[in-house]
Amino acid sequence: MPNLDATLDPAALTSRLNAAVLSDVLDSLGRPGQALKPFVRPLDEDSILCGFARTGLYMKRFHTVEGANPYAIEMALIDDLKPGEIPVLACDGPTDRIAPWGELLTTASMARGAAGCLTDGLVRDVRRIRQVGFPVFHGGIGPLDTKGRAEMMAMDEPVEVAGVPVRTGDFVFGDVDGVVVVPREIAAEAVRLALEKIEAEDKTRDELLRGELLSAVFARHGVL
């Protein structure tokens, strides 16, 4: 993972950020296309996804080569995860065929300190994953194994997930509103601006609750 600004601490930011404000800030920075298509949803709507991408690229397969391990690159990515990192698995979703994520990858990733999983493919073993509370944002639910259907062909290469380019080291944030990918080179600035906007929104909310007019509050804080 690239050496990023020390203020980008996923553990500290998980409870402070939200996807909507990050999306607004990216709009203001001239990056309007950073929110994933809305078919990608959290497995648990209370989940927060916050961390740094580690990318994996899947391709369809229609057979398994005898003697080959179709999970080799997938396992290499999971075993190399660092605390705060998120496997971001590109499956050209939405798909009814590629299901890269399940309980055992969840368990292995949790042991490495990973911050969650993001994929536009399918997820299975849903009940078990919900029980352990690991944040998984997915493109659908299905029981299929990837063996003979798909294989991770590359890791840590640029990919596209649900319409958004993602690179290893990009900052990823997701909540019930959706998932936003912040390019690593503007991540520190985007997070700083988002926290400032959230503070302004908090002031706006308090003043509206006191009965002040929306137009007056907007003129004062400039957020809506």
- Which residues line the annotated binding site for Mg(2+)? 124-125
**7/68 Cα distance (integer angstroms):** 43
**19 Cβ contact partners less than 8 Å away, ≥ 6 residues apart:** 35, 173, 174, 175, 177, 178, 179, 180
Q: Which residues are annotated as a binding site for substrate?
A: 102-105
In sequence order, the 6+-apart residues with CB closer than 8 A to the CB of 106 are: 117, 125, 128, 129, 132, 134, 136
Annotated binding site: 102-105, 124-125
Inter-residue long-range contacts of 4-10, CB under 8 Å, 24+ positions, other chains counted: 4/52, 4/169, 4/171, 4/184, 4/187, 4/188, 5/187, 5/188, 7/188, 7/191, 7/192, 8/52, 8/171, 8/187, 8/188, 8/191, 9/84, 10/50, 10/51, 10/52, 10/84, 10/115
